[in-house]
Structure 1
């Protein structure tokens, strides 16, 4: 069978997705992109009605001029989302790849706008803003996704939120995808062998830790903590924390100072958007440059 090259392949991995799949595939059908586009969908050992929904939408999409390529893992066990995405990509033919999770929907203009951006930036992964349903779910995460600056796309990759360009919004050229490499299919990440250089450091913002928090930190890293930084005037006035659990005599005393006395560079392990703006205001007060003077790591 001759494979016809198309401009864009929409890549959809599926596993037991019948609750959302109708709406997901409807959003592919509603795209306003006028050039050639196909749907490449891989069903990874679904046990629900996903296969029937795929078959129904294959007819409807192809009637609308959108070819549909369907692959499946028919074994008893799923192989995982990385495997399913790789299979969907390998069976597709588009010059560009548009990733779509089976429990997500696309706005009608998504493919068109990301394609236009990818033409301008061929060696990039193109993302986009998102809207959550229901709107109040994961409010902090959604605000973070939608308000990152261009610089923060690089500097905030170490936060607990994960990649700054979130996976369900990815759009890139096939050439660039293979240049970077396929998705990992191994499941859990193995223990990584890393040589770590640790310097002396201070620990900032211990609100809510209590005495047990100080102790836990000092028990794990007693030789490299030189100070605790805080905003609590009572702790700062006391001037030090005594490590009572230590077997040393005299017991070690760790200085407590105001956070303004700390010297960059900083690795900031405090979650953002949780203190009504107080943490962010304190950070802005220091007039530091993110990516040079500090990184968020939380």
Structure 2
């Protein structure tokens, strides 16, 4: 039960000009529990299924759907408006807006606009081409109440079945601890953007999405900034979203090199700056690429490369030919059993038939302390 409200008598100018505290209380009373945030761009073929799933949510609190159309050239806006009656009959208010530019402004811009026109205490991010399962809002809301400064995710089912098999398995099987330790992997955010749920308070503290447009990984930039601010990560261990894969997905416009640079910078900031020395696990292409991308300060901390390939080990060392130093740096290459922690592991997960994992376990190393994956 809600406690009874205390009445207070106001008069004169105070009655005409609400205090900051009064305004805050009025805004809280006007707010709904959850705003579903949905950017839209040429999504008309997906929208009926997406919106039907929103209608079928078993959440009993108040909800609104906030849609921002980013210069669609199909009939996306018309399709959404066609659902207004059904949504409102279910008690879900619809907020719909768009801009008049001929060109789309990008996913970050559209998300920011959808958030700014909404008033929910919690934000549920929904891509227009995905489908939420009936329990999604309820279960993520319940977890967010307990973790108000965390990004909350969930398990997913990929559609078409079997597409991005390794990526989907990674999304669904990494542990709670690995949500934090594997933030440097090439997969991107360990809590994947289409599953995000968080408090409005936390979103505003972290800041808006980058609005650079096509090719900008606005989700990864926000994700790293949230971690910098001390935010947590968690996941409802149920499948709550059908995550659709198709060739027009916005994430496919982001280049691998853009993601690589962001990951290297974040790794240096969060991990390598706290280590005096470390070993790069992989003397091949990916390990050498990481070394070359490090700042000179962190390059000097690399005491060795380690590997299992006898051909690489027999070479004895890696020479950094691009260096301007004289003589050029030579970094030893050793067998992993002769190397010492901590390690940055530049070998792809789930690609060695379990050999990498067995080798790491044989050294009795702890992920997040003795090694981090950068792969």
Instruction: Please give the range of the TM-score, normalised by the shorter of the 2 chains.
Output: 0.7 to 0.9
Mapped pair 1:115 → 2:141: yes
Mapped pair 1:287 → 2:338: no
CA distance in 1, matches of 2:146, 2:91: 27
Could you tell me which of 275, 281, 292 is aligned with 1:204?
281
Could you tell me which of 58, 66, 69 is aligned with 1:43?
69
Deviation at 1:289, TM superposition (A): 1.0
| Aligned partners of 2:182 and 2:190 also within 8 Å | yes
Q: Which runs of 5+ in 1 are unaligned?
A: none
Helix, strand or coil: the match of 1:183? coil
What value does the CA root-mean-square deviation take over the aligned residues?
Answer: 3.5
CA distance in 2, matches of 1:203, 1:150: 25
Q: In structure 2, what is the equivalent of residue 98 of structure 1?
A: 124
Mapped pair 1:18 → 2:64: no
User: TM (normalized to structure 2)?
Assistant: 0.68
| Aligned partners of 1:38 and 1:66 also within 8 Å | yes
Q: In structure 2, what is the equivalent of residue 84 of structure 1?
A: 110
Answer with 184-193 or 163-172: which moved more. 184-193
Helix, strand or coil: the match of 2:151? coil
| Aligned partners of 1:240 and 1:253 also within 8 Å | no
Could you tell me which of 149, 161, 175 is aligned with 2:201?
175
Deviation at 1:19, TM superposition (A): 2.2
1:158-173 mapped onto 2 (5 Å cutoff) = 158-173=184-199
Deviations 1:79-118 (CA, angstroms, capped at 9, x unpaired): 1111111111111111111100111110100001111111
Answer with 29-38 or 2-11: which moved more. 2-11
User: Where is the helix percentage greater, Structure 1 or Structure 2?
Assistant: 2
Deviation at 1:230, TM superposition (A): 2.1
CA distance in 2, matches of 1:179, 1:215: 38
Do the aligned partners of residues 260 and 47 (structure 1) sit closer, same or farther apart at CA in structure 2, a change above 3 Å counting? same
CA distance in 2, matches of 1:220, 1:175: 36
Q: Which runs of 5+ in 2 are unaligned?
A: 1-26, 218-257
Could you tell me which of 160, 176, 185 is aligned with 1:134?
160
Could you tell me which of 270, 275, 279 is aligned with 2:347?
270
Deviations 1:151-188 (CA, angstroms, capped at 9, x unpaired): 11111111111111111111111111111111111244
Q: In structure 1, what is the equivalent of residue 24 of structure 2?
A: none
Aligned residues: 291
User: TM (normalized to structure 1)?
Assistant: 0.84
Mapped pair 1:53 → 2:129: no
